[in-house]
Structure 1
């Protein structure tokens, strides 16, 4: 066993990525615990491969080395007084340091708690505040993060009153071997904070049994093959990145290639370069915006077939936000000449409270949509004075192995196919609880069933998601999805997905009204007035509603830790005056 973590590659040897194929017989997450899964994966040659912003391979990290380093970390944690059940908060930077610390915490019987890196927006004080709130919820023994942001992490740890360390502290730690605990399948493996709330965060407690069940289920649903390889830029503090593109690779013995999330943001096409260089078959996931930004970066003059070969991209997964078929079609149009096939798209639906996957589209079926009348989506009676309007709803696939999905009405009754209601699921991989929050747990868990908080309908065994119940805007008794209002504004030239936040506000007379915050890149006062009226007219034409339109500075709309627009936080910041709209003439 190694005495210290191997933080740098061996520069005396030429780097060769871990292989796709391996003589070690593949086992699809059929282990009792995650420790058993890593013990087994370490017997083979597969592993992680980390790349620089241009996609150049910088470090090869076989599962055998990961296990060795993780055991060393476990000894170091025990030497620091960490006991089974203690929480160890970890800043989830994509790299071998976090990987070894996460797995080492699990070997030590502690519960790792992945937390986000700072983003380019929000500032240092907001980041420290976000960490402090999550630390208060998780109540960890210590917070460990990269050396480069130690001033921020130490400030957050000091506010919480927990210990603090950096990667370097553990790399230099020489702890004596000791006996490590043997976890049982029903022990907690880690805490996952969902990205939806920074004000009142919920730590999802995931057991070893739940994790293994979900990892086996989605590898079964994706029909993982010997030549598959995962390519990812997704952050490891988000459930899709942590579970789907980190823990799953270990439990299913799949090699992976990684770009850091911030490097993808600067050079998104490096993601497609990595897929091109993979000589096996690629599995790669992204929310809709990842496909959108890649399609936008390709100009009509670019010969995509000369740079990219996407013909071996077997599964192009899509999840974590509402799937937009128009964006996905734009991606197909942009990269068809590079061999990308629309049938590679793999829509899915999941959430941290179910560990990750709830439904997955059968491979090869691609994106399928149904056109649904807006009145059906909102549950409102049809307005016969207006022409019918439709929204394309994406098929999110069938329940994964050992998962049940039902749609329930307002009184808890099961609904028939094509009837819209709340999505409930039940299965081994549904969470144990929200950490130290029995009231919140009881609100969403009933007799083993999880109320996902999402709205949708079933059709012939497939799930269609129409929106979040908590985001619903109710005006004069009529329900409206904020996505519909945001989509209306996006149809105007110059706006991108994520530039608009829609929610309801209370007017002076006490009534509810829709409000729309819109990123404005226009500086001329007259042009701003004209733009505001255009937005009002567009929303009115799509929804039939008059709305409050506020033009706000670019990059002022808040996002969750996974990069999605946070409507709830945008509303809070707007009402508190922290988001200041541009002042316009009446």
Structure 2
């Protein structure tokens, strides 16, 4: 039962706000601890169960740091931490940086893959990061300890570790150029490769982002994002610390069960709210409320100043559905704040200026794919979302395949440069040299610029190229989603080799139809839809719901879907003979 006497940490205090202008993250923690602000943890219904002032977090972090030192952890050692949304993780993360070690946030179990799949995933990341110890919540002790044992590293729950001795000791002084932490990107293209982020890069990005969204005195953050993903960790844990903002948390699994608790929490917030989500979070809420009425009686979203959107291709139709669903509750479309970023740049590269909302450009699909326009057929367009302007101190260039810069409105590879760019991929010199050239980062994404704004059109490695014709998987997926009964994330498109040795587009589609004859009709309907978009025949496979894999941030993983399909681990549903 929630203690009625619990009070959340305040939005305002007498300590002057500093926008992450510190030399190291440790200095940022020390300064935040002088304020009355902090982290606030809520249950599934959004009721406060634990206010955690920054001062208390720092005290716990220093105790954990002494325990880590007594355990034998020192400068540049890795400490793997299963990223539960709780005070212990926050304190342990800070403890690692105090003792000079590198915290490595790792994911919690998800519904996909089961127990053995989770042990395998943890094992691979432990093998890559080579930590001295894995510290985890007691609830997953069996799986976490099995992964640690498999990799030959120690494993303890944080309940156990908290009982260790903490003798007084001298802690090293962090330097700006020191590695602060390792971040495992949620993407499948370079998995599992730890992104090494320095203190300087982290603080530079946090300063740039807080400046980009014009973080104010009465602003407060609300989040359900997981702390093992860069948007959740950097944007919604490390940024509130370094910018002295109170924050309210729901656990990710609680959001999955009760997504509207997120909006309830925002409604109770007495400050100006900053809250972020990938597209699917807004989509879930809009769908969940669509059958209900009187949203104005339940929600008050009028103070939601920055509704951030990133981590995936932004869907303007989904955003419009959210506005339609919650305008009566005071939500303003101008609050939407698209952004673009990736773990290799710490987090944000570009962000939309406050109040400009979502702006789109309609671009011919032929232009997106680089193929000539067929004058005998009507032009098709895709709405491309404006992802904003580069953060202070960040440069963005669009380049062709030979590395030459392209002009405005010309599509090419997105490159960026700035202090926020990662130090390296941990122990992977080849991968580092592949994407870091003369201080510039090859993001692997395709896009174009216009008047200083960045537009992202897709990932270069996702592009399907058949007989010299370029196809974006998003175009195929979005076309199928227009058919009745499909949701965002129900379709994965990629290329496969057919029996005659030629390549063809393939789509895996979540199927909720049980009758074999109806499945055949659905398959043929999907094939016709894809043929209309691509001009070619495709392979259509119907698969059970919740089969398609996702990354840790909730994005569809096309590369993993293709791999699981080709290996036989994703089995299509049977059709009538």
TM-score norm. by structure 2 comes to 0.99
1:440-519 superposed matches below 5 A? 440-519=431-510
**By how many angstroms is 1:300 displaced?**
4.3
1:193-272 superposed matches below 5 A? 193-197=184-188, 200-272=191-263
Aligned to 1:531, which of 522, 526, 529? 522
2:52 matched to 1:61? yes
Q: Indicate conservation of the 8 Å contact 2:189/2:559, yes or no.
A: no
RMSD: 1.2
Aligned to 1:360, which of 351, 372, 381? 351
2:58 matched to 1:75? no
Aligned to 2:129, which of 126, 129, 138? 138
**By how many angstroms is 1:299 displaced?**
2.9
2:493 matched to 1:522? no
Aligned to 1:94, which of 85, 103, 106? 85
1:106 is matched with 97
1:27 is matched with 18
Distance 1:236 1:198, change over 3 A: farther
Q: Indicate conservation of the 8 Å contact 1:423/1:456, yes or no.
A: yes
1:328-367 superposed matches below 5 A? 328-367=319-358
Q: Indicate conservation of the 8 Å contact 1:133/1:199, yes or no.
A: no
Distance 1:466 1:265, change over 3 A: same
> 1:314, 1:439 → 2: CA distance?
42
Q: How many residues align?
A: 577
> 1:183, 1:165 → 2: CA distance?
26
Aligned to 2:425, which of 418, 434, 447? 434
> 1:81, 1:532 → 2: CA distance?
59
2:539 is matched with 548
Aligned to 2:412, which of 397, 408, 421? 421
2:165 matched to 1:170? no
> 1:70, 1:574 → 2: CA distance?
45
Aligned to 1:150, which of 114, 136, 141? 141
> 2:508, 2:384 → 1: CA distance?
25
Q: Indicate conservation of the 8 Å contact 1:520/1:553, yes or no.
A: yes
SS at match of 2:290: coil
1:375 is matched with 366
> 1:562, 1:215 → 2: CA distance?
20
186-195 or 168-177, larger mean C-alpha shift: 168-177
Q: Indicate conservation of the 8 Å contact 1:134/1:198, yes or no.
A: no
**By how many angstroms is 1:199 displaced?**
8.1
> 2:80, 2:293 → 1: CA distance?
44
**By how many angstroms is 1:545 displaced?**
2.0
**By how many angstroms is 1:386 displaced?**
1.2
Q: Indicate conservation of the 8 Å contact 2:177/2:198, yes or no.
A: yes
Per-residue CA deviations over 1:134-192 (Å, capped at 9, x if unaligned) read 11100000101000100000000011100111011122223111100101000000000
> 2:53, 2:377 → 1: CA distance?
61
Per-residue CA deviations over 1:532-558 (Å, capped at 9, x if unaligned) read 001001111122221100000111111
> 2:502, 2:475 → 1: CA distance?
21
> 2:505, 2:63 → 1: CA distance?
55
> 1:524, 1:215 → 2: CA distance?
53
TM-score norm. by structure 1 comes to 0.97
1:583 is matched with 574
559-568 or 275-284, larger mean C-alpha shift: 559-568
Per-residue CA deviations over 1:505-555 (Å, capped at 9, x if unaligned) read 011222111010001111100000010001001111122221100000111
2:278 is matched with 287
> 1:564, 1:336 → 2: CA distance?
27
SS at match of 1:517: strand
533-542 or 388-397, larger mean C-alpha shift: 533-542
> 1:284, 1:261 → 2: CA distance?
14
1:3 is matched with none
Per-residue CA deviations over 1:284-333 (Å, capped at 9, x if unaligned) read 00000000000000134421000000000000000000000000000000
Task: Structure 2: give runs of 5+ residues left out of the alignment.
Answer: none
Q: Indicate conservation of the 8 Å contact 2:416/2:442, yes or no.
A: yes
**By how many angstroms is 1:385 displaced?**
1.9
Aligned to 1:411, which of 397, 402, 407? 402
Aligned to 1:276, which of 267, 291, 299? 267
Per-residue CA deviations over 1:15-37 (Å, capped at 9, x if unaligned) read 11000001001100000000000
SS at match of 2:320: helix
> 1:49, 1:126 → 2: CA distance?
32
SS at match of 1:395: strand
Q: Indicate conservation of the 8 Å contact 2:185/2:191, yes or no.
A: no
Q: Indicate conservation of the 8 Å contact 1:210/1:428, yes or no.
A: yes
344-353 or 501-510, larger mean C-alpha shift: 501-510
Q: Indicate conservation of the 8 Å contact 2:105/2:182, yes or no.
A: yes
Task: Structure 1: give runs of 5+ residues left out of the alignment.
Answer: 1-7
Distance 1:460 1:399, change over 3 A: same
